[in-house]
């Protein structure tokens, strides 16, 4: 299976802002206002795909309204375009100054009236303007049991190798609120996964990924049923 697999989505997913997804052909409006999601991802965007699928099949009462990536060739942006979700490349290539890059991200989120931001495999810190405007409305998913194996440089296989190097008997996934530093915000939900004696970094990565999507979607389901702080300009 390649990283381009699973790009097939619910047809006519995101027609326009005046049409709600997954109610195509229905004469009945949804019972609750959908939470508008903004997703930031740097590479494959498999968590983004899980969110798209959960919104499309009704698991989430939410709508992905914009995808932002610092990587113009990311699969995450390809997934967004396949689903007719606005896909935006914002990086130090498009905006060489950090403050301008931060402002561009904030403006993209505000333009699309995002309620809740998800950083899923996004390899950069968010800037102070975005963090202030969306304080308490940004979540991240991390492939370890935070606070263990978090922080600068701890991503991908580095995390799983660190688990093995420390001799941990358990690893897992954490969904947490985003703050200014890497992986420091309060934890919202965690899933514990046992580490086997013969595990490798690659086998741990596979175990974690198998559970990561479900935990993220379940956490989003809870958050989107709760009252979020006012987010729209």
Q: Would you say residue 64 lies in a domain?
A: yes
The per-residue DSSP string of 65-131 comes to EEEEES-TT-HHHHHHHHTT--EEE-STTT--SHHHHHHHHHHHHHHTT-SEEEESS--SPPPHHHH
Q: Would you say residue 136 lies in a domain?
A: yes
| Residue pLDDT, tens place only, 102-134 | 999 999 999 999 999 999 989 999 999 999 999
Q: Would you say residue 22 lies in a domain?
A: no
> 158 by DSSP, 3-state: which?
helix
Measured CA to CA, the distance from residue 102 to residue 154 in angstroms comes to: 22
Q: Determine the average pLDDT of the residues in 73-100.
A: 96
The residues assigned a catalytic role are 142
Residue 233 has pLDDT above 50, yes or no: no
Residue 56 has pLDDT above 80, yes or no: yes
CATH number at residue 99: 3.40.50.170
pTM value is 0.84
Q: Which domain holds residue 57?
A: 35-224
> 53 by DSSP, 3-state: which?
helix
Measured CA to CA, the distance from residue 81 to residue 168 in angstroms comes to: 40
Measured CA to CA, the distance from residue 38 to residue 116 in angstroms comes to: 6
Instruction: Residue 103: count other Cβ atoms within 10 Å of its Cβ.
Output: 16
Q: Would you say residue 119 lies in a domain?
A: yes
Q: Would you say residue 5 lies in a domain?
A: no
Q: Would you say residue 103 lies in a domain?
A: yes
Q: Would you say residue 69 lies in a domain?
A: yes
| Residue pLDDT, tens place only, 137-152 | 999 999 999 999 999 9
Q: Would you say residue 200 lies in a domain?
A: yes
Number of domains in the chain: 1
HSE-up of residue 19 (Cα within 13 Å, Cβ side): 13
């Amino acid at each position: 299976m390649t990283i381009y697999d699973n790009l097939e989505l619910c047809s006519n997913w995101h027609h326009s802002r005046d049409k709600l997804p997954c109610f195509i052909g229905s004469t009945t409006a949804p019972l609750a206002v959908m939470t508008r999601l903004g997703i930031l991802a740097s590479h494959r965007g498999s968590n983004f795909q899980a969110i798209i699928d959960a919104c499309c099949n009704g698991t989430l009462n939410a709508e992905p309204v914009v995808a932002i990536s610092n990587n113009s060739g990311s699969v995450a942006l390809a997934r967004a375009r396949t689903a007719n979700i606005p896909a935006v490349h914002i990086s130090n290539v498009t905006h060489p100054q950090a403050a301008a890059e931060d402002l561009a991200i904030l403006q993209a989120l505000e333009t699309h009236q995002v309620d809740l931001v998800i950083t899923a495999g996004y390899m950069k810190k968010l800037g102070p303007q975005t963090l202030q405007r969306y304080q308490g409305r940004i979540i991240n998913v991390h492939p370890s049991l935070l606070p263990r194996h978090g922080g600068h440089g701890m991503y991908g296989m580095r995390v799983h190798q660190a688990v093995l190097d420390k001799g941990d008997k358990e690893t897992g996934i954490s969904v947490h609120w985003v703050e200014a530093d890497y992986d420091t915000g309060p934890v919202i939900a965690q899933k514990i996964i046992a580490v086997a004696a013969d595990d490798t970094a690659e086998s741990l990565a596979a175990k974690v990924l198998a559970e990561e999507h479900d935990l993220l979607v379940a956490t989003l389901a809870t958050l989107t049923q709760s009252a979020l702080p006012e987010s729209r300009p």
